[in-house]
Amino acid sequence: MAIVFEANYSKKLGLPGYSSHQYSLTVRAELTDLSQVESESKRLYGLLQGSVDREIQQTGFLPENNGNGHRPATNGNGNGHGHGNGNGSREEEWKCSAKQRNLILKIVEENRLDKNQVEALAQDRFGKSVRELNKLEASGLIEELLRQTGNNGQGGHNRFQKAGAR
């Protein structure tokens, strides 16, 4: 008796202008022995993950506006001015908000995270560096860093508190 085995891998990424895109693959295979399930699952997961990750890098069409008739801000910080605070600081190099930047840096510092691994996480999830993440993407990175460090706002610092206030 043949066993029908179905594996699916899907990924959804947030994009500028309140847009997102998703790609999903499903494969069906027939197995003749239940002992093959574990090895076939591992093989198919790797195959599907690699395929989806390769294909999702092509973002395709991005809307000209954010759905309400307004063009999105050019620097991703929502103020429409095109740059950060204008004082020539390194803050201008980040696309997310200053609060998000500060929280990302705080999580990395307090948990002694490897900056290369955080950068690799941003590349894997969003296809860009941490500094290039927009507000939505930075929010996703922050959530993942808090999840990985076991800091969900209970116990340690609450991510909604102002920096320095405990």
Q: How does DSSP assign 13-80, residue by residue?
A: EEETTTEEEEEEEEEEEEES-GGGHHHHHHHHHHHHHHHHHHHTT------SS-SSS-PPPTTSSSSS
Q: For residues 133 and 141, is the Cβ–Cβ distance under 8 A?
A: yes
Q: How confident is the model at residue 38, as a pLDDT?
A: 92
Which pLDDT belongs to residue 160? 39
pLDDT score for 154 = 44
pLDDT at site 86: 41
pTM, two decimals, is 0.40
Cα–Cα distance for residue pair 124/45, rounded to 1 Å: 16
Mean pLDDT by 10 residues, the chain (166 residues): 87 75 88 90 91 82 54 41 41 81 92 89 89 91 90 48 40
Q: Which amino acid is at 150?
A: G
